[in-house]
């Protein structure tokens, strides 16, 4: 049976890797759909976001068997908490954005809540 930390790390890695790969290879198609009026030649913005998401996804994948929380897992928890919380709040506040953008705040908010619980409660595996 997998630990709760491993499941959370794998889910985070999958979510960020999917989004990161999509933005890396198709940001010229995705960004104008998510942000109408954005020129297709601004695809580099999506690729910069993809680089950050892919980097954190790989970090989560490498740390998937590590216990989250506590002394040694706290940096991983804080990294993910900040990413998900800021992303969710930014997506909720996106004025004039399509509904698809606001719907993307749901998984980001859920992940922020889970990492917030790990930060405040401590490791799930104890």
pLDDT in tens, 70-109: 788 899 999 999 999 999 999 998 887 788 888 989 999 9
**pLDDT of 124 higher than 70:** no
**pLDDT of 39 higher than 90:** no
pLDDT in tens, 99-114: 888 898 999 999 999 9
Percentage of residues in the chain having pLDDT higher than 70 = 94
Domain spans in the chain, listed from the N-terminal domain onward: 4-121
Picking from 88, 77, 86, 125, the residue whose alpha carbon sits closest to that of residue 110 is: 88
Interval 51-77 mean pLDDT: 90
> Hey, what are 90's tokens?
């930014």
Q: Which residue has the tokens 């706290």?
A: 74
> Hey, what are 47's tokens?
């690729």
Instruction: Report pTM.
Output: 0.87
Cα three-residue angle 23-26-28, rounded to 5 degrees: 100
Name the 3-class secondary structure at 92.
helix
CA contacts within 13 A on the Cβ side of 81: 16
């Amino acid at each position: 049976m997998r630990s709760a930390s491993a499941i959370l790390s794998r889910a985070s890695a999958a979510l960020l890797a999917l989004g990161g790969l999509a933005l890396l290879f198709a940001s010229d198609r995705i960004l104008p759909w998510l942000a109408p009026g954005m020129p297709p030649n601004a695809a580099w913005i999506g690729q910069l976001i993809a680089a950050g998401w892919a980097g954190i996804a790989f970090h989560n994948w490498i740390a998937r068997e590590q216990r989250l929380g506590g002394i040694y897992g706290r940096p991983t928890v804080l990294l993910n908490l900040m990413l998900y919380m800021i992303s969710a709040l930014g997506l909720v506040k996106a004025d004039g954005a399509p509904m698809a953008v606001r719907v993307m705040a749901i998984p980001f908010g859920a992940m922020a809540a889970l990492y917030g619980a790990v930060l405040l409660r401590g490791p799930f595996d104890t």
